[in-house]
Chain A
Amino acid sequence: MNTLSKQQRERRRLLQVFSALAAQFVQACGPRAVLSGDAGDHDGDVDASASDSGARHPTGLPTLGGAPDTLVGHAIATLCDTVIPGAHRDPTGAPGAVDAGVPALFFDRALPAAALVGLIRTVLDGVASEVGGRAFSRLTVEQRETALQMALDRLPEAEFAVQLVRLGYYASPVAARHLGYPGPNPGYRDDPDFSFGPDPLAREITTGTDGNFP
């Protein structure tokens, strides 16, 4: 078996798994969909000690968001932070993917993405060496953005890694709180802003009163 065909197979697998995942998340998601139970409650304080002590992590991130402190972990955490920037570099202080623990998703053995982190790192480090001559996780923020765009242009399948970060972040309780999405609720029927009232908002054309089109 030569390396190329192995790589092609892995690419296909990447595409398959991420698009299937994406499909699942898209249709089924909301807060806690991804970060179930515990992981969701830790959100912001994963690895908080690193920033407290003032010791900057070599990735420049205050936390790896649940990714292991290994080179693969660094690559995934910096990818997540490139897709949805974290509070540490957001002028408004809004939380991002690492604050919501998204990197941990890539290492969750229950999710198929775990099998792909090595490949993702290979792809990212490949473009990173062209952009800045070092690993993706050691690039500056601007270089990472250039490198990620380059990866997406060359390997459209990589979009699914971005999609997974997006899904992971926007499905998290951190994002729900930040965007003001309340989740479970007793119903909005009595909310004064619930509807526009009893008058038709557009021309109705069904004949008769049963609402069925003839």
Chain B
Amino acid sequence: MPNERVDAVIIGSGYGGTIPATRLAEAGMRRVVVLERGVRKETRELEQSDALAYQTAVVDLVVSSQNIAFRTGKLVGGASIAMDGAMFRVPRRSFERRDGAGRRHWPERYTPEAMAPYYQRVEEMFGVRHFPWSEIPKAGGMFAKMLARADASCDRARMNYGDCLQCGFCAQGCIYNKKHTLLHTYIPRAERAGAVFRTGCDVRTIERSGALWTVRYLEGAEAKAIDADIVFVAGGGLHTPALLLRSRAAGLAGLNAHVGEHFNHNGELQFFGVLPEGFDDLDRYKCYAGMDNAGLMTWHWFESDDFTLHPGGGIEPTVFAAAVQSSTDARLPRKAWGMEFKRWVESVYPHRVMGFSSLGLADSHHAVTIKPDGSPDVVSRPRESYDRYLDRLEARVQEVSRASGVAIIPGYPRRYSGMTSAHLLAACRMSERAEDGVVDPFGQVWGQRNLYLCDASAIPYALGVNPALTISAVAERVVDGIINPASRMS
């Protein structure tokens, strides 16, 4: 029996897949099929639940052979369902970043000016707005006050939330319909234009068949194949490189050695702070009350030290208590167990706890490979440069701690940095020249006609800010280059 034949197959329905699917269908392409391995969860099927079984049904937790856990999408809409709403444009400094040899990480055509119309388009689609201080929960407020005491600046975030009720269950999917996910924006448009989203379709490999691409996938236990003129690989930061590596192992020729390399988790590291007695009106502060991203961002050290910090809200007891390590800081418990520890947690939760995370322009120290079963793994690469970034970051955080009186608990020992990262960039990075990366500046895999890739893994380097808006804007630009070839000249 011949394979099913369509115009375009899109593998994965996150930002990097749904946006091209939408634009291709709207541009009149008739048979656009999105293959998504996950299920579709409408708002009424989401829960305010911390149960591990529920959480891992919303987010794919990939635990590497080194025990580092990464989070990526696994529903129709990808991680847009679980993301925390922060949507920033990338500063010029990120686009201009250069490697040790003085070469720009981003291809030349990516500049703030060239990206502005695409950023604007996606901001409008997602209803991104600049949050006012009155909508910043106290978890963010405490962070701003800490920075103010250290004479550092702090800005409000841009987020894709409507009139958020501030329940603190964003990463579980918003049951109140206040987050503008792909299911609220692009997907209905794509479907109106005729694109089809198929669920439970796990793509295993792709291969060339003459001028066409054959996509092989499992639907349940059944092996299926579909042929298309054009394919977008958009499985997200880990599954996209894994799919290419599987395909190469199965015989796909011409993929270069960069596939899986340069994997970058965006300089993400988590911290908790313990506010000193008398810091503010502490009795009236509850660290769990409010959205997961507490709505702020500081750029104070971005020019000098390459990192930003943003607060975390909605802090549950577990997340905090599990992060506490034995400490020599007199304000923290000597050991993280026993009666003294139990008393200490009672004395600080929920009135004195705050959390924050860094993002930054840090070098890669990991690569994506595949395990024997073909699923993604993450392995170590040299990390001297990354450690220098961490040194700077930690030194600045300690300065803030001294100036503000806030005791800082580093989220994890260094070897686990990135342990819970959800910013999974660059493992199939875009590059100006074929010898430096996997994808060309127009989103086509080098040397592979009509094979496109514009999800998180194509972002060439750390961004220092949350990536979803940039992934979306790049996807808009890549698909624009296909629909309107004239736009490629800009």
> For A184, what are the chain B residues with a Cβ–Cβ distance below 8 Å?
48-49, 167, 169
A212 and B158 contact, CB distance less than 8 A: yes
> For A162, what are the chain B residues with a Cβ–Cβ distance below 8 Å?
336-337
A84 and B342 contact, CB distance less than 8 A: yes
Q: Which of B54-81 contact A (CB under 8 A)?
A: 55-56, 59, 61, 63, 67-69, 71
The verdict on A194 contacting B321 (CB below 8 Å), with A30-B316, A213-B302 known, is no
B419 and A203 contact, CB distance less than 8 A: no
A165 and B61 CA atoms in complex are apart in Å by 21
> For A203, what are the chain B residues with a Cβ–Cβ distance below 8 Å?
148, 153-154
Is chain A's binding surface mostly helix, strand, loop or mixed?
loop
Q: Which of B362-418 contact A (CB under 8 A)?
A: 416
A200 and B55 CA atoms in complex are apart in Å by 35
Is B22 engaged at the interface, CB distance under 8 Å to the other chain? no
> For B423, what are the chain A residues with a Cβ–Cβ distance below 8 Å?
none
Is B138 engaged at the interface, CB distance under 8 Å to the other chain? yes
Which residue of B91, B133, B338 contacts A195 across the interface (Cβ within 8 Å)? B133
A188 and B167 contact, CB distance less than 8 A: yes
A169 and B316 CA atoms in complex are apart in Å by 12
A30, closest chain B residue (CB): B50
Interface size on A, residues (CB 8 A): 71
> For B211, what are the chain A residues with a Cβ–Cβ distance below 8 Å?
none
A22 and B318 CA atoms in complex are apart in Å by 11
Min CB distance A114 to B, Å, is: 16
A193 and B286 contact, CB distance less than 8 A: yes
> For A181, what are the chain B residues with a Cβ–Cβ distance below 8 Å?
288, 316-317, 349-350
> For A29, what are the chain B residues with a Cβ–Cβ distance below 8 Å?
50, 52, 316, 318-319, 322
Q: Which of B110-140 contact A (CB under 8 A)?
A: 112, 130, 132-138
> For B321, what are the chain A residues with a Cβ–Cβ distance below 8 Å?
166-167, 169-170
Binds B, one of A2-10, A12-20, A55-63: A12-20
The verdict on A28 contacting B50 (CB below 8 Å), with A19-B67, A195-B133 known, is yes
> For B147, what are the chain A residues with a Cβ–Cβ distance below 8 Å?
202
- The tally of CB-CB contacts under 8 A between chains A and B is 233
Is A53 engaged at the interface, CB distance under 8 Å to the other chain? no
Q: Which of A162-214 contact B (CB under 8 A)?
A: 162-163, 165-167, 169-171, 175-176, 178-189, 191, 193-206, 209-214
A63 and B230 CA atoms in complex are apart in Å by 63
Interface size on B, residues (CB 8 A): 81
The verdict on A31 contacting B154 (CB below 8 Å), with A166-B336, A194-B289, A213-B91 known, is no
> For A188, what are the chain B residues with a Cβ–Cβ distance below 8 Å?
137, 165-168, 286, 289-290
Interface bits B304-329 vs A (CB < 8 Å: 1, else 0): 00000000000011111111100000
A198 and B339 CA atoms in complex are apart in Å by 41
Is B232 engaged at the interface, CB distance under 8 Å to the other chain? no
A171 and B317 CA atoms in complex are apart in Å by 7
B167 and A186 contact, CB distance less than 8 A: yes
B318 and A30 contact, CB distance less than 8 A: yes
Is A26 engaged at the interface, CB distance under 8 Å to the other chain? yes
Binds B, one of A32-40, A70-78, A131-139: A32-40
A201 and B148 contact, CB distance less than 8 A: yes
Is A90 engaged at the interface, CB distance under 8 Å to the other chain? yes
> For A25, what are the chain B residues with a Cβ–Cβ distance below 8 Å?
52, 318, 322
The verdict on A214 contacting B155 (CB below 8 Å), with A26-B323, A26-B420, A201-B148 known, is no
The verdict on A31 contacting B50 (CB below 8 Å), with A23-B68, A193-B285 known, is yes
A165 and B337 contact, CB distance less than 8 A: yes
Is A150 engaged at the interface, CB distance under 8 Å to the other chain? no
Q: Which of B339, B346, B416 has the most CB of A within 10 A?
A: B339
Which residue of A23, A148, A209 contacts B69 across the interface (Cβ within 8 Å)? A23
Q: Which of B59, B153, B176, B289 has the most CB of A within 10 A?
A: B289
Which residue of B88, B138, B419 contacts A26 across the interface (Cβ within 8 Å)? B419
> For A193, what are the chain B residues with a Cβ–Cβ distance below 8 Å?
138, 284-286, 289
A145 and B338 CA atoms in complex are apart in Å by 8
A20 and B67 contact, CB distance less than 8 A: yes
- Can you sample 24 A-B contacts with CB below 8 Å? A23-B69, A23-B419, A32-B50, A33-B55, A34-B52, A36-B52, A83-B338, A84-B342, A169-B321, A179-B345, A181-B350, A184-B167, A188-B165, A197-B133, A202-B148, A202-B154, A203-B148, A206-B299, A209-B130, A211-B130, A213-B88, A213-B155, A213-B299, A213-B302
Apart from A85-B339, A195-B134, A198-B132, what 11 extra A-B contacts exist at CB < 8 Å?
Answer: A26-B318, A32-B49, A84-B341, A166-B337, A180-B350, A181-B349, A188-B286, A193-B286, A200-B133, A202-B145, A212-B89
**A-B complex: 3 closest residue pairs judged by Cβ atoms:** A30-B50, A187-B165, A29-B318
